[in-house]
Amino acid sequence: DTAVSQTPKYLVTQMGNDKSIKCEQNLGHDTMYWYKQDSKKFLKIMFSYNNKELIINETVPNRFSPKSPDKAHLNLHINSLELGDSAVYFCAISDPGWGYTFGSGTRLTVV
């Protein structure tokens, strides 16, 4: 039973499309994150939600909009996809004193 599950695992789409990535956690932690990992493996935080409230919003284009319908879910919607959005997007949850648990990632390719 996976603690953090993301769907889809792979997403290939054309420039200009709108797409969503979903994340679900079953550990009951309050805080969930979206990270972006580029082709050089650099992981950069995008957003963080604590108990459905947005607490971290890094410098991310407003084409990216996170939504947390409940504590167990954090989705990422991306409008007007661009080539530079191609990356692996990771959902993560945190446990104070223990760091993050990551999902297995969504590999987004924009063509």
Partner 1 sequence: QKEVEQDPGPLSVPEGAIVSLNCTYSNSAFQYFMWYRQYSRKGPELLMYTYSSGNKEDGRFTAQVDKSSKYISLFIRDSQPSDSATYLCAMSLSGGYQKVTFGTGTKLQVIP
Contact residues toward partner 1 (CB under 8 A) are 4, 30-31, 40-45, 48, 50, 55-56, 58, 90, 92, 94, 96-105, 107
| CB-nearer residue toward partner 1: 19 or 102 | 102
| CB-nearer residue toward partner 1: 69 or 97 | 97
| CB-nearer residue toward partner 1: 84 or 96 | 96
- Residue 49 CB, nearest distance to partner 1 (Å)? 10
- Residue 79 CB, nearest distance to partner 1 (Å)? 24
**Which three-class secondary structure string do you get for the chain?**
CCCEEEECCEEEECCCCCEEEEEEECCCCCEEEEEEECCCCCEEEEEEEECCEEEEECCCCCCEEEEEEECCEEEEEECCCCHHHCEEEEEEEEECCCEEEECCCEEEEEC
| CB-nearer residue toward partner 1: 81 or 88 | 88
